Structure 1
């Protein structure tokens, strides 16, 4: 948000969070998908920083209630690096009349590129590109829904793939349970996307097939696990077992972690929540206790983000 930094300065990084989301269609679907109090988000980031956190990827894309100016402000006030997103989310999070449904694929690609290299657009939750700020996006957010690449999603992914090839920017993909990430893997490879700059999110709860994990990893794509402290899905013990399986397969350089925070999971908004610092304060000790080495933790928390986010 505040300009380029050298990869080595990034530090401990959580690679899929939500720090600020304005009230919109997402809120109508789930009230937890609204964090619109900057002071609380600042408080959360300061606690994260005190625990050792240095960088966060905010996964809310432009046009889907992203607060770009707010992210710039909270980054400046906390000293935490925030990597913001351009791109698109699941279409259910947009109003029916939203431009995301109708804008031409090539224009969409140009929009993504412009947010990465010129600056992010603001006030675009309904209107099309009225103004731009200096702060740039650093990653392309995409979302694979249960319809996979059928319909409008195919065009959205074509635009994102074109933007990745044109800029070299990293790409994250929301993987919805019931979708087919293997199909998307082939799609991205066929279009010449740099799979070393791509990571699939939520794979620890969206996919249970070992053969799918292996196919995606062998294609060079990184897995981002964020079902940590999310006990409605599974325990941290089960999460650790899955992480150890990926490490034992030899893919320690293709693994990231995060919390995928909502209002319900940020302590500043909900005192009973696990909080943004949960990985640092609770999950890292559990990783060490179950035999994951410091070198492996260093790769997941720092070295892998440094490589993927450099472009």
Structure 2
């Protein structure tokens, strides 16, 4: 039976109603904080308040994009799912190498061991530790997606090892592969690598290309290959206006890719209003951005696809493990 794997268990795909496909709900203070102080989201009560507001506004589902060994708080995510009723889909996998201490286990662990770790988190339970030493303490809650990162350095030996492990875990479990695309990273080269490694491209999401890649012809080529695009430069005015963001959605919809678009906010501490009063909060898409999409000529049916139908399709796992 097809299902979506949340931190509170497997749910039928048709229970997903409105989804943000790339957020950060809880990040422990650690290496990520040393890189960017906004990458510490560590108040359970404030995050719970954000999720409750999101639910009241009409939200049902959130993908948390913080992977194992990088500040993810699996125990808090599980409790948040139970207490708020939000379907939280947690990530295993890996982030950019800058977010790990130099002596982190992710640099020394081999490809097969990494794949086994990712598979275990998808099929048995996530680790609750592992930010500095090898993870040993697990919880029953499972991850439902693989997070990967593609940096400007491209596919170095380290990144090839990690992508190979994530691809193995995805193919073995049927879980989708979500890829952070860094600004300046050659997105089309990664597609060639994924295809070479027999990764089903219709199980892949490329994130952040609305700010990472200005040339929409590249976006269209990514979609032509079957990959989903998750756009989240919404309320991020240092990159561009929300009106420009709506124009990007409209251009991709006009090109015929309405079945492959997703959206989210890619939240940080600064963008969550329960942490930072001037932040936009998790309700921003529902309350502020959707009217802009409508003004740009995007139909209610297209919005339903972006916020619901496409999310159901990419997040659903069909394999039985």
Q: Which TM-score band applies after superposition, normalised by the shorter structure?
A: over 0.9
- Aligned mates of 2:316, 2:199 — CA distance in 1: 15
1:10-159 equivalences under 5 Å are: 10-159=16-165
Matched, 1:238 2:244: yes
- Aligned mates of 1:138, 1:109 — CA distance in 2: 15
1:278-297 equivalences under 5 Å are: 278-297=284-303
**Unaligned stretches of 5+ in structure 1?**
none
- Aligned mates of 1:213, 1:241 — CA distance in 2: 14
Cross-structure match for 1:215: 221
Cross-structure match for 2:167: 161
The Cα offsets for residues 193-252 of structure 1, whole Å up to 9 and x where unpaired, read as 121111100000000123311221111000100000100110001001110000000000
CA contact (8 A) 1:168 1:194 kept: no
CA contact (8 A) 1:217 1:254 kept: yes
Residue 148 of structure 2 aligns to a residue whose secondary structure is strand
- Aligned mates of 2:216, 2:20 — CA distance in 1: 24
Residue 160 of structure 2 aligns to a residue whose secondary structure is helix
1:161-310 equivalences under 5 Å are: 161-310=167-316
CA contact (8 A) 2:105 2:133 kept: yes
- Aligned mates of 1:287, 1:181 — CA distance in 2: 26
Cross-structure match for 2:4: none
The Cα offsets for residues 89-112 of structure 1, whole Å up to 9 and x where unpaired, read as 000000011001110111001111
Q: CA deviation at 1:26?
A: 0.4
* Greater mean alpha carbon deviation, residues 119-128 or residues 297-306: 119-128
Q: CA deviation at 1:289?
A: 1.7
CA contact (8 A) 2:69 2:135 kept: no
Dislocated runs of 4+, deviation >3 Å: none
The two structures, once aligned, show a CA RMSD in angstroms of: 0.7
TM-score computed with the length of structure 1 as normaliser: 0.99
CA contact (8 A) 2:180 2:208 kept: yes
Residue 35 of structure 1 aligns to a residue whose secondary structure is coil
* Greater mean alpha carbon deviation, residues 147-156 or residues 229-238: 147-156
- Aligned mates of 2:133, 2:193 — CA distance in 1: 30
TM-score computed with the length of structure 2 as normaliser: 0.96
* Greater mean alpha carbon deviation, residues 296-305 or residues 119-128: 119-128
